[in-house]
Amino acid sequence: MKIFSPLYRRTMEWSRHPKAPWLLGVLSFTESSFFPIPPDVMLAPMSLANPKRAWWYAFLTTATSVLGGLLGYFVGIYAFSWIEPFLRDSHYWAAYQTAVAWFGAWGFWAVFIAGFSPIPYKVFTIAAGAMSMAMAPFVLASMIGRGLRFFLVAGLMALGGEKMEGTLHKYVDRLGWATVGLVGVGILTYQ
């Protein structure tokens, strides 16, 4: 059953849209402070569809992500008591407590790791503000961590270019169903 190839085709069409960079910037900004979908889902196909602009897309994603991280940082400083009840009721509460523990142990490196890895960066931005982390190290760690991640994604996609796009299109349904299967096995294993 080919569910993923039409989605892939549509995603590649959207990634070539003239307003796609604006949407990428908005997604990157909001993901760093409250939105759950990572900007990689737009950055990768945009870099794949237009490899000559991949570095620009990575820069745009990094810059808007750090700005969104600053929003999260200020929310942590000025509005944590207001959002804490919502955070406690969400699935992010455990991640927030982990972020607080990491700040106590590693500070700068906690933000760097969260910026680079798939750990919810938004939780660390809020925790950094709530824990009164100095802004300069926060911004520096965010720029390095997020920059490394987004330039790596853009670079790998640009390197593959049209050949990778064709290969992905050919195997996207198999890859999609394999991913669904792995998620299913993961859910069954950890229940």
- 3: tokens are 């569910």
CA 12, CA 19: separation in Å to the nearest integer? Answer: 13
- 135: tokens are 């802004």
Which residues have C-beta within 8 Å of that of residue 60, sequence separation ≥ 6? 21, 24, 25, 28
CA 119, CA 73: separation in Å to the nearest integer? Answer: 16
pLDDT, one tens digit for every residue, the chain (191 residues): 676 666 666 666 777 788 889 989 998 999 888 877 788 888 888 888 888 999 999 999 999 999 999 999 999 999 999 988 988 888 878 888 888 888 878 888 888 888 888 778 888 898 899 989 999 999 999 999 999 999 998 998 888 777 766 666 666 666 667 766 766 776 677 65
- 134: tokens are 């100095």
Buried b / exposed e along 26-54 (16+ C-beta atoms within 10 A): bbbbbbbbbeeebbbebbbbbbbbbbebb
pTM value?
A: 0.78
